[in-house]
Homo-oligomer: A and B are copies of this chain.
Amino acid sequence: MLGISPEDLLKRAVVDASKELINESISEKLDLQILGFDASNKVVKIADLGCSVGPNTFFAVQNIIEAIELKFQNSSSLEFQVFFNDQSQNDFNTLFRSLPPSRNYFAAGVPGSFYDRLFPKSSLEFAHISNSLHWLSKVPKEVVDRNSPAWNKGSVQCSTGSSKEALRAYSAQFKSDIETFLTARAEEVVPGGLVFVLTAVVPDGIPISQTYAGAFYDVLGSCLNDLVKMGVLSEDKADSFNVPVYNPTPKELEAILKTNKNFNLEKMEELPQSITNAQITPKGFALGGRAAIEGFIKNHFGDEFADQIFNHFITKVEANSSKIQEKKHNHLNMFITLKRVVNCK
């Protein structure tokens, strides 16, 4: 396991835990005739969106392929084409060089944001997105507007100290982004095709600040405030920093998905909570978090402040270790299966 981060281990655990749910979805919800797999169409096209550089993306894709092979009696006549997507800043060179040599699919990389169109019309049978939909397309503009009631002074995301208006702005941005995501996928996924979503949620009724992710952003926010007090960062600079990330509650997510006209919500299940408990330590959490948000920190504060911010952050995470550990259970991963509606549009 050398060289694999705790963040990666967690993602792997989430991917592994979803295997059985993917199997069930494909076994119960997939109509081979609608997709034409028993007749003319012999190529199954699968996209992994927000794939990063591997290896978790390869396991996820393999799970989907194995489930299709299980379902389809005559699977030896099928060919698989897999599209690995991430932002064009992703390291596709590393991804391509680490593709499994004995893979049974044709591989392609697709650069771009999954909030935009990435594929031609009706060109995918399956899409999969894991640990990515909590990244918003942007920071809601109100939360960094000093004149708005949603101004998120002193916080870097939805956490302790955020006003109701700030929370509402984050939630609205998330809703709008999911709708944008599904509108793009509705064009790309064939009728009857399936979209699998794995995403972290905040349990209903629990404030974000009482969750693991919330604790991360609370510590980061207080760390920036410390550096303002120490005269390292200007107050303006710290106040105008927010991270474009949001974890909805299951109810909130379900409501958005249920009103979508292009996809049916076929399955929505919590993954076993043991996944989270088993994998993360506070230090691992801090390092994993650093990898995830370092780009935002550097963009906003400049390269020269990133180390200073993260060094202070790690010290604070260690000092607050037991408080963070307490919040571990308040972190759920949901597995969702969406089916592209057949007679629509």
Q: Interface on A for B, CB 8 Å cutoff?
A: 42-43, 79-81, 83, 88-89, 91-93, 96-97, 99, 106-112, 117-123
Complex CA–CA separation, A83 to B107 (angstroms): 11
A109 in contact with B109 given A43-B123, A93-B93 (CB within 8 Å): yes
**Closest beta carbon of chain B to A41's beta carbon, Å:** 10
**Closest beta carbon of chain B to A232's beta carbon, Å:** 33
A93 is contacted by which of B43, B81, B83, B92 (Cβ under 8 Å)?
Answer: B92
A81 in contact with B43 given A92-B96, A92-B109, A96-B111 (CB within 8 Å): no
Q: Across the interface, do A111 and B99 meet the contact criterion of CB distance under 8 Å?
A: yes
Q: Across the interface, do A119 and B106 meet the contact criterion of CB distance under 8 Å?
A: yes
A120 is contacted by which of B81, B89, B111, B118 (Cβ under 8 Å)?
Answer: B81
**Closest beta carbon of chain B to A74's beta carbon, Å:** 15
CB pairs A–B below 8 angstroms (30 shown): A42-B120, A42-B121, A43-B120, A43-B122, A79-B120, A79-B121, A80-B120, A81-B119, A81-B120, A81-B123, A88-B97, A89-B97, A91-B93, A92-B92, A92-B93, A92-B96, A92-B109, A93-B93, A96-B111, A106-B110, A106-B117, A106-B118, A107-B110, A107-B111, A107-B112, A108-B108, A108-B109, A109-B109, A109-B110, A109-B111
Starting from the known contacts A79-B120, A81-B123, A107-B112, 20 additional A-B residue pairs (CB-CB under 8 Å) come to A42-B121, A43-B121, A43-B122, A79-B121, A80-B120, A81-B119, A88-B97, A89-B97, A92-B92, A97-B111, A99-B111, A106-B110, A106-B117, A106-B118, A106-B119, A106-B120, A107-B111, A108-B109, A108-B110, A109-B110
Complex CA–CA separation, A110 to B107 (angstroms): 6
B-chain residues with CB within 8 Å of residue A92 when the two chains form the complex: 92-93, 96, 109
B-chain residues with CB within 8 Å of residue A109 when the two chains form the complex: 92, 96, 108-111
Complex CA–CA separation, A307 to B166 (angstroms): 60
In the complex formed, the residue of B with least CB distance to A92 is B92
Complex CA–CA separation, A99 to B112 (angstroms): 11
B-chain residues with CB within 8 Å of residue A79 when the two chains form the complex: 120-121
In the complex formed, the residue of B with least CB distance to A109 is B109
Complex CA–CA separation, A109 to B89 (angstroms): 14
In the complex formed, the residue of B with least CB distance to A87 is B96
Q: Which 7 A-B pairs have the closest CB atoms?
A: A96-B111, A43-B120, A108-B108, A79-B120, A109-B109, A88-B96, A92-B92
In the complex formed, the residue of B with least CB distance to A117 is B106
B-chain residues with CB within 8 Å of residue A89 when the two chains form the complex: 97
In the complex formed, the residue of B with least CB distance to A108 is B108
In the complex formed, the residue of B with least CB distance to A105 is B120
Q: Could you say which of A91, A96, A99 has the most chain B C-beta atoms within 10 Å of its C-beta?
A: A96
**Closest beta carbon of chain B to A65's beta carbon, Å:** 13
Complex CA–CA separation, A117 to B110 (angstroms): 19
